[in-house]
Amino acid sequence: MPLAILTAATAHTGAPQPRRHPEWSDIGLFVFAIGAVWLLRHLMRRRNRKD
């Protein structure tokens, strides 16, 4: 039931606008993903060197 209330509250009546540039959250997510991939690769290389 709370999901139905939340969904109705977040609806908008305006017409959709085309996106001209990425949102800051998109950029932040991209940077975070790059950092996570770099960290995991770094840790895997470090672990393989010790064996």
Give the model's pLDDT for residue 28: 97
pLDDT of residue 16 exceeding 90:
no
Other CB atoms within 10 Å distance of the CB of residue 22: 11
pTM above threshold 0.85:
no
Q: How confident is the model at residue 33 (pLDDT cuts 50, 70, 90)?
A: very high
- The pLDDT value given to residue 48: 86
| Rounded distance between C-alpha atoms, residue 37 and residue 43, angstroms | 10
Give just the sign of the alpha carbon dihedral 44, 45, 47, 51: positive
User: pLDDT at residue 18 above 80?
Assistant: yes
